Amino acid sequence: MGIQIRWLPRILPVFLLIPQMLLAGEVTEKELSGAKEQYRELCRECHGALRYGGYAPPLIPETLGRSNDEKLAQVILDGLPQTQMKSYRDKVSPAQAKALAALLRQPVGEISWESSDITASLIRPEKKPGKYTPPRDLEKTVLVVERGTGSLVVLDGDGLKQLDKAEVGRIHGGPKFTGDYKSVVVSTRDGTIARYELLEGGLSVMAKVAVNTRNVAVSPAGDWVAVANQLPRNLVLMDGQLRPKKVLPLKGTPSGVYHHPGTDKFVLTLRDAPQMIFVEYPSLKISEIELPIAFEDFTFVPGSNRVIASSRGGTEILLYDLNRHAVLGSIQTSGLPHLFSATFFMRDGKLKTSLNHIGVSKISVIDMESFSEEKTLALKGAGYFVRTHPGTPYLWADSNTEAIQLIDKRTLELLDKSLVPQPGKKAMHTEFTADGKLALVSIWDKDGAVVVYDSTTLKEVSRQPYNMPVGKYNALNKTDFPVR
């Protein structure tokens, strides 16, 4: 969530082996060469000559990993509703669709996407006709990422009225606001970076920065953008207009890149190497520190130079001091802690954090002073996000079920009552308005919604329909590293 929003378990090294033999048995050489021809004619324009994708996804084994051939053929024949991917039934027969699917399984060798490719991809989308009214108060702005339509939706923070909707693609990870809240930078899994302008309305610039992207970070002034990529494995540093300034190849797979609060640096870790890399701007000078273990994931502890980090496989959570390069504490755990969605809050004058564990039906509350697990609460299911805000008495935990479960921040006990925005449909991810008075919960469905609750009385205030609203982001909550 961030959303990167990062709520799907990270793409595990998806680079699964492809059953080539099976395909070879089903599709002849002749059919395959016919598929190449059709690809050039019908698909290349959007998906790229080398199948690296453009502003449409790459079509290579590494990224298609989990879809089976039947599903691919079906996408080709039927298209994907509400996206640019239309149905090709009039031009492609079912047998040809199968051959096209087999073509998409062919290895493409080592992937290269260089500065010149990034520069060549830069576009300045045309402004949509019609009047745009900017949010009345920028810091109250709420964004909704609507996965079903690949869009970023802009809401006025007062009244939550929809102001604009911009199509970007398969947005992955949380949108990043600049410090003045005037601009937002988003990334897609498919390597697209887009910048949205909240005062003028509309996307000002887009670039294809890689073939598969982990996440993006932006400097508070909005003049530097850093993108961590998995294909190819690198860190791309760009100016605020997305012009590439440096490409740093990486020795491992990035866990993520973040702006280092209070400094002029970006910081990046690798999932498979015990290394933390800092890039200072504008000099783009690089420095590194050796870590005790590789960080699968980490998050800054608000108002400090410390991070909490998880080890690979999630057996351990560390408290690590970036100034002293020292481990200050560690907690043994089971189930990959979802650190990026960790929420910080004060209880009896002490800083606490609460987090979900991917694949395990529990949340933990950790006392940050002693760095120990103060409480573990069993949930109805294994969720992704725990969120809170000083404006609500509760921790709001999703549980990968229809229910949002609530924990009283004073007693650290679960409420008997949970919120079920729509029976039978998954409720996910809570975000708050800037003042914390309202909580926004997603119904994760094609016929989904964002349901707004009073964050104290828990009464429903309103709901708006959305197609897979995977995340909501308030400008102030997302920029201030708040203790909520």
Binding status of residue 293 toward ligand HEC by CB under 6 A:
no
CA distance 375 to 354: 9
CA distance 203 to 190: 17
Q: How far is the CB of 258 from ligand HEC (least distance, A)?
A: 26
Among 18, 75, 351, 412, binds ligand HEC (CB under 6 A): 75
Cβ 102 vs Cβ 27: under 8 Å:
yes
Binding status of residue 70 toward ligand HEC by CB under 6 A:
no
Binding status of residue 211 toward ligand HEC by CB under 6 A:
no
Q: How far is the CB of 30 from ligand HEC (least distance, A)?
A: 18
Q: Which is nearer to ligand HEC, 111 or 336 (CB)?
A: 111
3-class SS letters over 405-457: EEEECCCCCECCCCECCCCCCCEEEEEECCCCCEEEEEECCCCEEEEEEECCC
Binding status of residue 189 toward ligand HEC by CB under 6 A:
no
Binding status of residue 309 toward ligand HEC by CB under 6 A:
no
Q: How far is the CB of 189 from ligand HEC (least distance, A)?
A: 9
Best CA proximity match to 169, nearest among 114, 209, 128: 209
Q: How far is the CB of 409 from ligand HEC (least distance, A)?
A: 38
Environment class of residue 480 by beta-carbon count within 10 Å: exposed (0-12), middle (13-18) or buried (19+)? middle
Among 6, 47, 214, 259, binds ligand HEC (CB under 6 A): 47
Q: Which is nearer to ligand HEC, 85 or 138 (CB)?
A: 85
Q: How far is the CB of 149 from ligand HEC (least distance, A)?
A: 8
Give the CA distances from residue 131 to residues 134, 328, 384, 409, 434, in Å, rounded to whole numbers and listed in that order. Answer: 10, 53, 38, 44, 26
Instruction: Output the six-digit token pair for 60.
Output: 């290579």
Give the CA distances from residue 46 to residues 49, 50, 54, 234, 424, in Å, rounded to whole numbers and listed in that order. Answer: 9, 11, 6, 24, 37
CA distance 38 to 93: 11
Q: How far is the CB of 339 from ligand HEC (least distance, A)?
A: 27
Q: What is the CA radius of gyration of the chain?
A: 22
Of the candidate spans 59-67, 241-249, 256-264, 300-308, the one that interacts with ligand HEC by CB under 6 A turns out to be 59-67
Q: Please, which of residues 363-382 interact with ligand HEC by CB under 6 A?
A: none
Instruction: Output the six-digit token pair for 425.
Output: 């449909």
Binding status of residue 83 toward ligand HEC by CB under 6 A:
yes
Binding status of residue 93 toward ligand HEC by CB under 6 A:
no
With CB under 6 A as the rule, give the number of residues binding ligand HEC: 23
CA distance 192 to 207: 6
Going by C-beta distance under 8 Å and a sequence separation of 6 or more, which residues neighbour residue 198? 134, 135, 138, 141, 154, 181, 182, 183, 184
Q: Which is nearer to ligand HEC, 14 or 248 (CB)?
A: 14
Q: How far is the CB of 85 from ligand HEC (least distance, A)?
A: 3
Binding status of residue 337 toward ligand HEC by CB under 6 A:
no
Residues 106-145 as x/- pattern, contact with ligand HEC by CB under 6 A: ----------------------------------------
Q: How far is the CB of 236 from ligand HEC (least distance, A)?
A: 22
Among 14, 42, 108, 123, binds ligand HEC (CB under 6 A): 42
Look at the block and give the residue holding tokens 């907690």: 331
Among 46, 322, 415, 461, binds ligand HEC (CB under 6 A): 46
Q: How far is the CB of 225 from ligand HEC (least distance, A)?
A: 23
Binding status of residue 148 toward ligand HEC by CB under 6 A:
no
Q: How far is the CB of 16 from ligand HEC (least distance, A)?
A: 14
Q: How far is the CB of 75 from ligand HEC (least distance, A)?
A: 4
Q: Please, which of residues 94-113 interact with ligand HEC by CB under 6 A?
A: 100
Among 2, 48, 57, 469, binds ligand HEC (CB under 6 A): 57
Q: Please say whether the dihedral angle defined by the alpha carbons of residues 347, 348, 349 and 351, taken in this order, is positive or negative.
A: negative
> Residue ranges of the alpha helices (H) in 39-111?
44-47, 61-64, 69-78, 94-104
User: Which DSSP helix (H) or strand (E) runs through 360?
Assistant: strand 360-367
Binding status of residue 64 toward ligand HEC by CB under 6 A:
yes
Binding status of residue 76 toward ligand HEC by CB under 6 A:
yes
User: Which DSSP helix (H) or strand (E) runs through 377?
Assistant: strand 372-378
Instruction: List, in sequence order, every beta strand (DSSP E) within 219-342.
Output: 224-231, 233-239, 244-249, 254-259, 265-270, 275-280, 286-290, 295-300, 306-311, 316-321, 326-332, 336-337
Residues 155-184 as x/- pattern, contact with ligand HEC by CB under 6 A: ---------------x--------------
Q: How far is the CB of 445 from ligand HEC (least distance, A)?
A: 16
Binding status of residue 56 toward ligand HEC by CB under 6 A:
yes
Binding status of residue 49 toward ligand HEC by CB under 6 A:
no
Instruction: Output the six-digit token pair for 461.
Output: 């205030």
CA distance 13 to 216: 19
User: Which DSSP helix (H) or strand (E) runs through 115?
Assistant: helix 115-121
Among 2, 135, 150, 448, binds ligand HEC (CB under 6 A): 150
Residues that bind ligand HEC (CB under 6 A): 42-43, 45-47, 56-57, 59, 63-64, 67, 72, 75-76, 80, 83-85, 88, 92, 100, 150, 170
